[in-house]
């Protein structure tokens, strides 16, 4: 069963995207004339998401206007006076997200689907009996821009682990995931990164990945946005398979 609720993380400061984010939130930057936030919400709507939570902190009033302009999905705005980071933001939203697995999408995640929509592939692959989280991954070798040592390694069954010292990880997290409320059993109070809960999931053998079979744009700095705009305008995008 595909998740029916989702959260879009739109509260970050977008510091690496400055000066573009000095006067607006990063998810409100545009690519091909549409905001990154609207593109994420469009994909969720296409997947049948009926209810979504969007959090906001930096230029929260502009994020509020953007979500108010949409008719669907039904959106609850979660304004955060204090930045809660990814983990704290989702934890606060849990009562709105319900007892079933839900999507969480970074507000600056932009992807093009392969033969099957990525969210549908994730919903079909998600097994709550084995998984507390399923993360969409892209191959690090095919990502333009600075990604460090990569994020994860994956075994043949799809279970994830972190790279060891001096080890390069072949996969990068694409900012799209299905999470269960059970993942948050060890959640601390206040602000924290979802990475803390991923580590618990790794220890329990319940953190899994799915490799994206389409195109994903790494949008960290202004030049990344310019490169993505130029590639889409020219019709030249790099397939990640």
Radius of gyration over every alpha carbon of the chain, rounded to an integer in angstroms: 17
240 pLDDT exceeds 60?
no
pLDDT at 234: 80
pLDDT single digits (tens) 44-70: 999 999 999 999 999 999 999 999 999
DSSP state of 156: T
Domain 5-234 in this protein, CATH class:
alpha beta
Question: From CA 205, how far away is CA 132, in angstroms rounded?
Answer: 9
pLDDT at 153: 96
Which positions ≥6 away from 18 have C-beta within 8 Å?
none
pLDDT at 148: 67
**Omega into 206 within 30° of 0, i.e. cis?**
no
Mean predicted confidence (pLDDT) in 213-235? 88
pLDDT single digits (tens) 156-211: 999 999 999 888 899 999 999 999 999 999 899 999 999 999 999 999 999 999 99
pLDDT at 233: 81
Taken as a whole, the chain contains a residue count of 241
Question: From CA 181, how far away is CA 3, in angstroms rounded?
Answer: 12
> Residue 238 burial by CB count (10 A; 0-12/13-18/19+): exposed, middle or buried?
exposed
Reference 109, options 216, 229, 12; nearest CA is 216
pLDDT at 20: 92
Reported pTM: 0.93
Q: Break the chain into its structural domains and give their ranges.
A: 5-234
């Amino acid at each position: 069963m595909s998740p029916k609720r989702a959260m879009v993380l739109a509260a970050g400061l977008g510091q690496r995207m400055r000066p573009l984010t000095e006067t607006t939130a990063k998810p409100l930057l545009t690519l091909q004339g549409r905001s990154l936030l609207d593109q994420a919400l469009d994909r969720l709507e296409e997947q049948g998401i009926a209810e979504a939570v969007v959090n906001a902190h930096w230029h929260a009033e502009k994020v509020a206007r953007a979500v108010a302009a949409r008719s669907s999905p039904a959106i609850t705005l979660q304004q955060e006076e204090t930045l809660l980071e990814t983990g704290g933001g989702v934890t606060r939203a849990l009562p709105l997200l319900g007892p079933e697995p839900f999507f969480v999408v970074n507000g600056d995640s932009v992807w093009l689907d392969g033969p099957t929509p990525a969210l549908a592939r994730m919903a079909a692959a998600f097994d709550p009996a084995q998984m507390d989280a399923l993360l969409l991954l892209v191959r690090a070798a095919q990502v333009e821009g600075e990604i460090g040592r990569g994020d994860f390694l994956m075994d043949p069954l799809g279970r994830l682990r972190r790279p060891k010292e001096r080890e390069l990880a072949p996969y990068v997290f694409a900012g799209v995931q299905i999470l269960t409320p059970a993942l948050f059993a060890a959640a601390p109070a206040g602000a924290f990164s979802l990475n803390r809960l991923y580590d618990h999931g790794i220890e329990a053998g319940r953190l899994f990945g799915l490799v994206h079979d389409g195109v994903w744009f790494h949008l960290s700095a202004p030049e990344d946005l310019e490169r993505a705009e130029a590639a889409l305008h020219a019709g030249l995008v790099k397939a990640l398979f």
